[in-house]
Chain A
Amino acid sequence: MDREYEKVAAPKKGRSRQGTQGKPGRTLALILIAMVALTGGMFASGHNTPRLGIDLAGGTSITLRAVPEKGQESAVNETNMNTAVDIMERRVNGLGVSEAEVQTQGSDNIIVNIPKGTDSKQAREQVGTTAKLYFRPVLATEVSGAAASPSPSPSASGSPSASPSDKPTEKDKATPSGSATPSAGATSQGRALTDALKADPTPSGSASASAKASTSPSASASPSPSGTPSDDTAKLQAAYAALDCTKEAQRAKAGDGVKANEPTLACGQNSQKQWQKYILGPAEVDGTDVDKAEAVFDTQSSAGWKVTMNFTDKGSDKFAAITGKLAKNQSPQNQFAIVLDGDVVSDPYVNQALTGGSAEISGSFTQDEAKNLANVLSYGALPLSFKEDSVTTVNAALGGEQLRAGLIAGAIGLALVVIYLVVYYRGLSLIAVASLLVSAALTYVIMSLLGPTIKFALNLPAVCGAIVAIGITADSFIVYFERVRDEIREGRTLRPAVERAWPRARRTILVSDFVSFLAAAVLFVVTVGKVQGFAFTLGLTTVLDVVVVFFFTKPLLTLLARTKFFANGHPWSGLDPKRLGAKPPLRRTRRPSAAVDPKEA
């Protein structure tokens, strides 16, 4: 008892026992500084509002499920899913969509979110179909750009003259590989496709190769300006001349809707990050012919990173045919382009027929470049197809309506809680409402900041989570206030009551918040889709609740307990001992003991 009152008499002494009660002003300042810093960070980052999910902002959200081919159930793994995500991202963003986002969810789902203002139907077609990966012979190519566009129209002979200037230094090169690599060392700057001499070319393979070689040059639009170019060829030539690959819109359109067996136009970036345009012949090998592709680091010949490919039986035949044909040609027609969804991702040149079912592309790759190329190549070989599991289209107007409804619901909920608190706790509700506001502000700022950092998007379930969290947050104050009131009922004055109530309230708050957080965490980890957004908000607000109670509510109450209004138990303070029914110690002895004492004796 003595110690208790000493503390009141000398508030500055002996406070270091418990951190938060020691310097309430400092703790308050700390959290306010943190808030200002976070808010400043929000404004500095330029993301002043939380990113809105598709259901609130409008747009299309597609959930795809990976379906493995029969007998290859293990194909649904992280690597393959990530490859698929990469490819889909390319495609969706190739539509000229800004901010489309593709991500994996759970073990076998991919979520594609396409914001409003995009042709959602086209987007769905894009993500729904399997990737189109082709190996096409290069007929003509040149660096594309504003300066390069006025090229003489029908004479494709002009283009080879443009390209050789940079070709020797930056072109990929295809060469035979295997233990005896004749040219690997020789071409240190070029990228080479080499033949792994593992399997012997089958006789039938070479036969078909020659057959094809004889037919395809005539079928493909020959770039030679002489003779009488057919209508199609002339059109292609004209389009090629007009094509400016530095413009995104044109890039997206180039080669759109062209069948695999027709020549086409395409764009691609060379190793110097310049856009290059191409006329490509009909596809000779497609992605499904690739059995496996991976990036490997060549330790033996110091060639650095390279990509190895293995073809299926059918693929190796076709590949042998095209390389055999290309090797006879002059640059750039000795190159083949690896075309993914209309984009040239690589254009190695070939200097001999590559038979044997496997090959490698080497050159001055960085690790990332090699991996990307391998990813692209393996996508054609992914034994996965994707099925639309759910498609949600929300137009912007309805999305806005839902957002508004959610906000109104939140405002109503908050108002009801505030009214209840004011009626029940009177002056104390000031602290509760201030704490709720701090909590709300922190939630808002953190959500805004999480948008760009972890791609957090506020969707309707998340709004619900935040509204439900008002209750959890308010409950912490209730636990604490009730404790303080109990202490006052015991006959204590406010200041010791506030300090004595805290350790117990703190424990209760921590235990119960932990359970709530546990629920949110489990939900977040285990579930998918909408449930996850909800769980995330709930977890976030639970953590913030603890922060606010510890660093704001408690110090604020300690400070206010020093004011006359609260300390003297003003009827409107919510801590009036009389209203709380506190018994002065003297009265206490009479009432219960009269009843109890005889029994106890």
Chain B
Amino acid sequence: MSKLGNLGARLHRGEVGYDFVGNRKIWYGISILITITAIVGLAVRGLNMGIEFQGGAAFTTSKTSVSVSQARSYAEEASGHDAVVQKLGTGGLRIQVAGVDTDKADQIAEKLADDMNVEASSINAELVGPSWGEQVANKAWTGLGIFMVLVVIYLAIAFEWRMALAALVALIHDITITVGIYALVGFEVTPGTVIGLLTILGYSLYDTVVVFDSLKEQTKDLTKQTRWTYSDVANRSINSTLVRSINTTVVALLPVAGLLFIGGGVLGAGMLNDISLSLFVGLAAGAYSSIFIATPLVADLKEREPQMRSLKKRVLAKRQAAAQGDVAEGAEPVETSYDAEPEDATPAVVGPRGQRSQPAARGRGRGRPSGKRR
């Protein structure tokens, strides 16, 4: 605990911090680059759609002595189509044949069972008509659309439209990256993948919402002071929720890692593996985007408001004046915005702070309800 705990304490006090908002252009650039790569990958390579989407049959056998190549030749002979055969962790085989309809698949299953010398009933068969996968995918897209609209409305009400917009951008960003990685690496897309992708929706937003919640609280009464610009506060919000974001991501990734290990390592392939793989990729993208993309984007949008622009002007003017004063006195180096701590006139520190002369900070503190604090 201690290292991360101390880091947390230092982040909390603003002793250390990273200027997420200040360096946003770099991160925007990186994200745009990744997104373009993803889109190009998607356009060039396309997605490797599983049989659930193109129609076909997948057979899973229990432990068998038949080799992969043997099984492939059996399957190809039985179906007249190309077959993909995987060895599973259980010792069984997974045989996929695309482009056969459900009637034909029955015959293939029987023939396979015959060839491989196992009972027909011991083979798991998944037969999918092409329209079913299409339907599943279409409904998933519809769900995605409805969800996005609802979430934007909700965030616009709970927070404000800028945050809603930024969250939406972050969300699209996550999905694009995940889909792009699937296209580039060539992972198979199955209903499990779609499930994982849809879960990312909730998760990515969940992360973003926590940062926004902190941001909303800290920027209350922002215009009543002249010490911080909106970007400064946004940056502090990110830094102060950083430990939580890291913890959340780790805690979310751990069970998914368990799934991936079992799904990929033991079962070899199938639903568990598909879901956890897309979750793993998406969660990582989600954590990244809520910190590096969503909040800086809100800050960018916010700084365009006349109110915030004038605040920034005032703050900068004041800082310049202070800096000149410093130079005149030959005292302190110019302070960067992020390594100052949140100065709140909370009851616990009222006494000591009375010794200081910080009109601006105190004025802001008084304006805050005592029960609310980041």
A: which residues have CB within 8 A of B?
A: 1, 3-4, 55, 63, 65, 106, 109, 121, 387-395, 397-398, 401-402, 405-406, 408-417, 420-421, 423-426, 460-461, 464-465, 467-468, 470-472, 474-475, 478-479, 482, 485-486, 489-492, 500, 503-504, 507-508, 511-516, 518-520, 522-523, 525-531, 534-535, 538, 574, 579-583, 585-586, 588-589, 592-593, 595-601
A520 and B202 contacting across the interface, CB-CB below 8 Å: yes
A417 and B255 contacting across the interface, CB-CB below 8 Å: yes
Residue of A at shortest CB range from B120?
A121
Q: Given contacts A464-B195, A530-B195, is CB(A416)–CB(B254) below 8 Å?
A: yes
Confirm or deny: B5 has a beta carbon within 8 angstroms of a beta carbon on chain A: yes
| Residues of B close to A421: CB separation below 8 A | 251
27 A-B pairs (CB sep. < 8 Å): A1-B347, A1-B351, A63-B132, A391-B102, A398-B60, A402-B272, A413-B259, A416-B257, A416-B258, A482-B243, A482-B244, A491-B348, A503-B372, A516-B203, A520-B202, A527-B139, A527-B198, A530-B271, A538-B199, A579-B2, A588-B352, A589-B353, A596-B335, A598-B331, A599-B322, A599-B332, A601-B357
Q: Given contacts A390-B128, A519-B201, A579-B5, is CB(A531)–CB(B146) below 8 Å?
A: no
A586 and B352 contacting across the interface, CB-CB below 8 Å: yes
| Interchain nearest-CB distance for A350 vs B (Å) | 42
Interface of chain B: mostly helix, strand, loop or mixed: helix
Interface of chain A: mostly helix, strand, loop or mixed: helix
| Interchain nearest-CB distance for A575 vs B (Å) | 10
- Which residue of B132, B272, B343 is within 8 Å of A406 (Cβ)? B272
B258 and A410 contacting across the interface, CB-CB below 8 Å: yes
| Residues of A close to B359: CB separation below 8 A | 600
Confirm or deny: B136 has a beta carbon within 8 angstroms of a beta carbon on chain A: yes
- Which residue of A461, A482, A599 is within 8 Å of B195 (Cβ)? A461
Q: Mark B237-258, 1 if CB is under 8 A from A, else 0.
A: 0001101100110111111111
| Residues of B close to A519: CB separation below 8 A | 147, 151, 198-199, 201-202, 205
Q: Given contacts A409-B272, A468-B199, A528-B139, is CB(A475)–CB(B206) below 8 Å?
A: yes
Best-surrounded residue of B125, B271, B340 (most CB of chain A within 10 A): B271
| Residues of B close to A482: CB separation below 8 A | 8, 241, 243-244, 247
CA distance A583 to B82 in the complex (A): 69
A424 and B122 contacting across the interface, CB-CB below 8 Å: no
| Residues of B close to A589: CB separation below 8 A | 352-353, 355-356
| Residues of A close to B126: CB separation below 8 A | 390-393
| Residues of B close to A599: CB separation below 8 A | 319, 322-323, 325-326, 332, 335
| Residues of A close to B322: CB separation below 8 A | 598-600
Q: Given contacts A410-B255, A490-B346, A518-B147, is CB(A464)–CB(B247) below 8 Å?
A: no
| Residues of B close to A413: CB separation below 8 A | 254-259
A528 and B349 contacting across the interface, CB-CB below 8 Å: no
| Interchain nearest-CB distance for B258 vs A (Å) | 3
Q: Mark B356-374, 1 if CB is under 8 A from A, else 0.
A: 1111110000000001111
| Residues of A close to B259: CB separation below 8 A | 409, 413, 464, 467-468
CA distance A582 to B267 in the complex (A): 48
Best-surrounded residue of A394, A468, A530, A593 (most CB of chain B within 10 A): A468
Query: Which of B25-33, B179-187, B209-217, B301-309 forms contacts with chain A?
Result: B209-217
Q: Given contacts A489-B9, A515-B151, A598-B326, is CB(A405)–CB(B135) below 8 Å?
A: no
